[in-house]
Amino acid sequence: QGIGAGFIPAVVDRAVIDGVEQVTNEDAFDMARRAAREEGIPVGISSGAALTAAFRLAAQDEYAG
């Protein structure tokens, strides 16, 4: 999948990264299935992981409103 591969590609600019969110395979798969079931959007595990992280961030008080 390319995520969690154990290395950071040379093209990554760490200056623009605010943080890293760890997502388990199980959570990523669950979210991928949820996206398909609730939104009709078939996505893979990397998109499931990205959605999981996005939902977590969106639930934080600093992003309320």
Would you place residue 1 in the very low, low, confident or very high pLDDT band (cuts 50, 70, 90)? Answer: low
pLDDT tens profile 13-41? 999 999 989 999 999 999 999 999 999 99
Would you kindly state where each structural domain of the chain is located, as residue ranges? Answer: 23-63
Q: Please measure the distance between the N-terminal and C-terminal CA atoms of the chain and give it in whole angstroms.
A: 33
Non-local CB neighbours of 53 within 8 Å, separated by 6+ positions: 21, 23
Averaged pLDDT score across all residues of the chain: 92
> How many angstroms separate the CA atoms of 56 and 21, rounded?
9
Angle at 40 between CA 39 and CA 42, to 5 degrees: 115
Q: How far apart are CA 27 and CA 52, in angstroms?
A: 7
Q: Tell me the pTM.
A: 0.82
